[in-house]
Amino acid sequence: MPSENGSAVNGADGAAAPAFPGLKLVPAAQEPSKAKDFKSDQEVRWCPGCGDYAILAAFQGFLPELGVPRENVVIVSGIGCSSRFPYYLSTYGMHSIHGRAPAIATGLAASRPDLSVWVITGDGDGLSIGGNHLIHALRRNVNVNVLLFNNRIYGLTKGQYSPTSEAGKVTKSSPMGSLDSPFNPVSLALGAEATFVARTVDSDRKHLTSVLRAAAAHEGASFVEIYQNCPIFNDDAFEPLKDPAERDLRLLRMEHGEPLTAGGRGVVADGFGGLRLAGPEEAGEDAVLRHDAHREDPGYAFALSRLDQPAFEHVPIGVFRDVRRPTYDALMNEQVAEARSAQGEGDLGALLASGDTWTVE
Residue 179: exposure state from Cβ atoms within 10 A (0-12, 13-18, ≥19): exposed
Q: From CA 158, how far away is CA 180, in angstroms rounded?
A: 19
Question: Under rule CB under 8 A, which residues in 162-191 are in contact with another protein?
Answer: none
* Neighbouring C-beta atoms of residue 106, cutoff 10 Å: 23
76 binds another protein per the rule CB under 8 A = yes
Mask: binding to another protein, 121-140, rule CB under 8 A, as x and -? -----------xx--x----
Contact 29, 10 (CB under 8 A): no
Q: From CA 235, how far away is CA 227, in angstroms rounded?
A: 12
Radius of gyration of the chain (CA): 22
Contact 102, 136 (CB under 8 A): yes
Rounded to the nearest whole angstrom, what is the least distance from the CB of residue 78 to another protein in the complex? 10
Binder among 51, 67, 93, 182 for another protein (CB under 8 A): 93
At 157 the three-state DSSP class reads: coil
Contact 163, 105 (CB under 8 A): no
The 8-class DSSP code of residue 291 comes to: P
User: Residue 8 or 287: which CB sits closer to another protein?
Assistant: 8
Binder among 1, 17, 176, 311 for another protein (CB under 8 A): 1
* Neighbouring C-beta atoms of residue 350, cutoff 10 Å: 9
Rounded to the nearest whole angstrom, what is the least distance from the CB of residue 131 to another protein in the complex? 11
Mask: binding to another protein, 41-60, rule CB under 8 A, as x and -? -x------------------
Q: Which of 29, 22, 9, 42 is nearest to 71 (CA)?
A: 29
87 binds another protein per the rule CB under 8 A = yes
Contact 38, 56 (CB under 8 A): no
359 binds another protein per the rule CB under 8 A = yes
Binder among 24, 39, 70, 205 for another protein (CB under 8 A): 70
Binder among 106, 150, 165, 234 for another protein (CB under 8 A): 106
Rounded to the nearest whole angstrom, what is the least distance from the CB of residue 246 to another protein in the complex? 39
Mask: binding to another protein, 304-343, rule CB under 8 A, as x and -? ----------------------------xx-xx-xxx-xx
Rounded to the nearest whole angstrom, what is the least distance from the CB of residue 346 to another protein in the complex? 3
Q: Which of 58, 327, 76 is nearest to 195 (CA)?
A: 327
Q: 116: Cβ–Cβ under 8 A, 6 or more apart, which residues?
A: 22, 23, 26, 66, 68, 72, 73, 74, 145, 216
Rounded to the nearest whole angstrom, what is the least distance from the CB of residue 311 to another protein in the complex? 35
267 binds another protein per the rule CB under 8 A = no
Binder among 56, 108, 237, 301 for another protein (CB under 8 A): 108
Stretch binding another protein (CB under 8 A), from 64-72, 167-175, 201-209, 234-242: 64-72
User: Residue 29 or 214: which CB sits closer to another protein?
Assistant: 29
Q: 32: Cβ–Cβ under 8 A, 6 or more apart, which residues?
A: 64, 67
Give the rounded distance of the alpha carbon of 61 from its chain centre: 17
Stretch binding another protein (CB under 8 A), from 79-87, 231-239, 268-276, 299-307: 79-87
Rounded to the nearest whole angstrom, what is the least distance from the CB of residue 46 to another protein in the complex? 14
Contact 187, 302 (CB under 8 A): yes
32 binds another protein per the rule CB under 8 A = no
Rounded to the nearest whole angstrom, what is the least distance from the CB of residue 130 to another protein in the complex? 9
CA dihedral 344, 345, 351, 355 (to 10 degrees): 10
Binder among 86, 122, 126, 182 for another protein (CB under 8 A): 86
Residue 226: exposure state from Cβ atoms within 10 A (0-12, 13-18, ≥19): buried
Binding site for another protein (CB under 8 A): 1-3, 40, 42, 69-72, 74, 76, 79, 86-87, 90-97, 100, 103-112, 114-115, 132-133, 136, 332-333, 335-336, 338-340, 342-346, 348-349, 351-361
